[in-house]
Amino acid sequence: MELHKSTHVVLLSSPGLGHLIPTIELGKRFVHHHNFQVTVLAVTSQTSKTETEILNSSLCHIIDIPSPDLTGLVNENNGVMTRLSVMMSEAVPAIKSILSKITPRPSALIVDIFGTEAIPIARELNILSYVYVASHAWVLALIVYAPVLDEKIEGEYVDQKEALKIPGCNPVRPEDVVDSMLDRNDRKYKEFLKIGNRIPQSDGLLVNTWEELQRKVLEALREGGLLSKALNMKIPVYAVGPIERESELETSSSNESLVKWLDEQRSESVVYVSFGSGGTLSYEQMRELALGLEMSEQRFVWVVRAPIEESVDAAFFTTGRSESEEVEMSKYLPEGFISRTRKVGLLVPEWAQQVTILKHRSIGGFLSHCGWGSTLESVTNGVPLIAWPLYAEQRMNATLLAEELGLALRTAVLPTKKVVRREEIEHMVREIIQGDENGKSNGIRERVKETQRSAVKALSEGGSSYVALSQVAKIIEG
Ligand code: UDP
């Protein structure tokens, strides 16, 4: 590898591990494949032990921007999305100051979707600006088209009788819209529209998907496509994914015993259950999930968080807080559940080494909140999903996975609308591991493996995502 690294790229990550992890991974690609110097500006929540570990273990140079003081700017009713937008707005002066002083002078600034307020700073400093959409192209389409929907549609989106049409893309069912579109009078909706308006002002978009997975939407978004025509959007859209972690670096004794347990299980026989970095369930839902897992008689690894009644994203800023605050699971799991399932299931408090788990040959299914990071980690390791969306854009992800791509089973009713009962969980868990009721294949595992192969191809030298990232790198190099 050349020692002289001339091209310097700055990546900006908003708070939340689901934002930080993919940003760092993109940074690593630029370091490894293009020999760039990469700085990650991470606006951090600083409440999470896991966040600190990830920052410390990154191969990129990290500048940590502590989350600004939000006193007086948000109130306790403001949800995660509003908090994120306000944090990023408040961090703009710090971002500007760093960008104007940092050496060597950066050639490009790449922001995540909550960092779009920094695009004008890059312009001012004569630096190229890109938006990295760590999610998929269909969500991107909805975000950039939302300002048009705002003009066209009256009343709440969730009350619409028909799906929301986006030129050149599959329509979005009203119940699937992203959280920011659930209440048009809420502050997070206004912030969301601003993001949709700012994205096309960048010099280009990097999306964590690949051509072969989402060709139709990508074509619609690109110059000449129906959506880009409708928006008069002329910036290039690069599908550079799947960008995800190869494996965790840390080893711990709990992880070693987990891997040892997995080693003892049959291939593709264990279902992994996790709701991402921020997901939480109600008390009643946790009990049903526990009993459903038990009734399925399948082996499982479950990342358990204390139940919360009023919110499904309660752990967003705090997950993996500290070892001493680990949850006392016996308090809220059904009586006797822990001892009855000791031989067939493992309970991991708060945070697990997810990539290590998903890579293990014993894992045969993933009951997931469908965060895009988790989704990609599952698919690229050949693991079929049970879609259990909770918040953000996860309902769209679940629909994409279960209905368009055929990579997941899903519940009959959205888990955010109604408690999923133990019998339904039992059936889904059994089916994802064993195929359908008659032991016949439901085709999901085969399609996941095919998609896994297509992802490998896209990333390998000459593959679509490899070429797309090389094109971006070339433009940045100038
Ligand atoms: N993750 C993990 N251990 C956990 C929960 C999550 O390593 O116990 C990682 C997961 O592998 C993924 C990220 O955290 O890389 C979560 O991102 P995702 O997009 O799936 O969902 P989000 O947390 O943003 O909702």
Mean pLDDT for 443-449 is: 96
Residue 176: which residues within 8 A CB-CB, separation 6 or more?
A: 395, 396, 398, 399
Rounded Cα distance between 357 and 255, Å, is: 9
Q: Quick: pLDDT tens for 404-420.
A: 999 999 999 999 999 99
Share of the chain above pLDDT 90, in %: 76
Assigned domain for 147 exists = yes
On whether the CB atoms of residues 277 and 370 are closer than 8 A, the answer is: no
| pLDDT score, position 252 | 64
Mean pLDDT for 176-195 is: 96
CA of 370 to the centre of ligand 1 (A): 10
Assigned domain for 91 exists = yes
* Residue of minimum CA distance from atom 16 in ligand 1: 18
Whether residue 219 is found in the same domain as residue 156: yes
Whether residue 154 is found in the same domain as residue 203: yes
Query: Is any atom of ligand 1 closer than 6 Å to the C-beta of 85?
Result: no
- Which has the closest alpha carbon to 275: 2, 18, 5? 18
CA of 276 to the centre of ligand 1 (A): 4
- Which has the closest alpha carbon to 150: 184, 124, 125? 184
Higher pLDDT, 378 or 441: 378
Assigned domain for 171 exists = yes
CA of 391 to the centre of ligand 1 (A): 13
| pLDDT score, position 70 | 84
Query: Is any atom of ligand 1 closer than 6 Å to the C-beta of 357?
Result: no
Share of the chain above pLDDT 70, in %: 94
The domain tally of the chain equals: 2
Query: Is any atom of ligand 1 closer than 6 Å to the C-beta of 15?
Result: no
CA of 233 to the centre of ligand 1 (A): 32
Assigned domain for 295 exists = yes
On whether the CB atoms of residues 359 and 244 are closer than 8 A, the answer is: no
Whether residue 223 is found in the same domain as residue 298: no
Higher pLDDT, 398 or 249: 398
- Best of 13, 14, 17 for a ligand 1 pocket test (most atoms within 8 Å of beta carbon): 17
Q: Quick: pLDDT tens for 283-326.
A: 999 999 999 999 999 999 999 998 988 777 766 665 544 444 44
In ligand 1, which atom is closest to the CA atom of 248? 7
Query: Is any atom of ligand 1 closer than 6 Å to the C-beta of 389?
Result: no
Give, in order, the Cα–Cα distances in Å from 165 to each of 149, 170, 173, 391, 398.
Answer: 9, 7, 9, 21, 18
Rounded Cα distance between 129 and 107, Å, is: 9
Whether residue 266 is found in the same domain as residue 409: yes
CA of 34 to the centre of ligand 1 (A): 27
Q: Quick: pLDDT tens for 428-439.
A: 999 999 987 676
Single-letter residue type at 363: I
Query: Is any atom of ligand 1 closer than 6 Å to the C-beta of 274?
Result: yes
| pLDDT score, position 108 | 97
Q: Residue 427's domain is classified under what CATH number?
A: 3.40.50.2000
Query: Is any atom of ligand 1 closer than 6 Å to the C-beta of 354?
Result: yes
Rounded Cα distance between 76 and 87, Å, is: 14
| pLDDT score, position 253 | 65
- Best of 45, 249, 323, 374 for a ligand 1 pocket test (most atoms within 8 Å of beta carbon): 374
Higher pLDDT, 232 or 61: 232
CA of 252 to the centre of ligand 1 (A): 18
Assigned domain for 451 exists = no
Whether residue 315 is found in the same domain as residue 342: yes
Query: Is any atom of ligand 1 closer than 6 Å to the C-beta of 390?
Result: no
Whether residue 203 is found in the same domain as residue 257: no
Query: Is any atom of ligand 1 closer than 6 Å to the C-beta of 371?
Result: yes
Whether residue 54 is found in the same domain as residue 78: yes
Assigned domain for 390 exists = yes
Residue 339: which residues within 8 A CB-CB, separation 6 or more?
A: none
Whether residue 303 is found in the same domain as residue 415: yes
CA of 304 to the centre of ligand 1 (A): 13
Mean pLDDT for 26-40 is: 94
In ligand 1, which atom is closest to the CA atom of 358? 11
* Residue of minimum CA distance from atom 7 in ligand 1: 354
What is the domain extent for residue 127?
Answer: 8-243+460-477
Whether residue 257 is found in the same domain as residue 230: no
- Which has the closest alpha carbon to 213: 379, 358, 364, 377? 379
Whether residue 270 is found in the same domain as residue 223: no
Query: Is any atom of ligand 1 closer than 6 Å to the C-beta of 48?
Result: no
* Residue of minimum CA distance from atom 24 in ligand 1: 18
Whether residue 36 is found in the same domain as residue 80: yes
Q: Quick: pLDDT tens for 121-176.
A: 999 999 999 999 999 999 999 999 999 999 999 999 999 999 999 999 999 999 99
| pLDDT score, position 325 | 41
Whether residue 278 is found in the same domain as residue 137: no
In ligand 1, which atom is closest to the CA atom of 313? 25
Assigned domain for 444 exists = no
Quote the mean pLDDT of the chain: 91
Query: Is any atom of ligand 1 closer than 6 Å to the C-beta of 189?
Result: no
Rounded Cα distance between 365 and 380, Å, is: 13
Assigned domain for 83 exists = yes
Mean pLDDT for 209-217 is: 98
CA of 408 to the centre of ligand 1 (A): 18
Please list the active-site residues: 19, 112
Question: Which band of pLDDT confidence, cut at 50, 70 and 90, is reported for residue 440?
Answer: confident
Residue 431: which residues within 8 A CB-CB, separation 6 or more?
A: 409, 437, 442
In ligand 1, which atom is closest to the CA atom of 372? 19
In ligand 1, which atom is closest to the CA atom of 394? 25
Three-class HEC string of the chain: CCCCCCCEEEEEECCCHHHHHHHHHHHHHHHHHHCCEEEEEEEECCCCHHHHHHHHHCCCEEEEEECCCCCCCCCCCCCHHHHHHHHHHHHHHHHHHHHHHCCCCCCEEEEEHHHHHHHHHHHHCCCEEEEEECCCHHHHHHHHHHHHHHHHCCCCHHHCCCCECCCCCCCECHHHCCHHHCCCCCHHHHHHHHHHHHHHHCCEEEECCCCCCCHHHHHHHCCCCHHHHHHCCCCCEEECCCCCCCCCCCCCHHHHHHHHHHHCCCCCCEEEEECCCCCCCCHHHHHHHHHHHHHHCCEEEEEECCCCCCCCCCCCCCCCCCHHHCCCHHHCCCCCHHHHCCCCEEEEECCCCHHHHHHCCCEEEEEECCCHHHHHHHHCCCCCEEECCCCCCHHHHHHHHHHHCCCEEECCCCCCCCCCCHHHHHHHHHHHHHCCCCCCCCCHHHHHHHHHHHHHHHHCCCCHHHHHHHHHHHHHHC
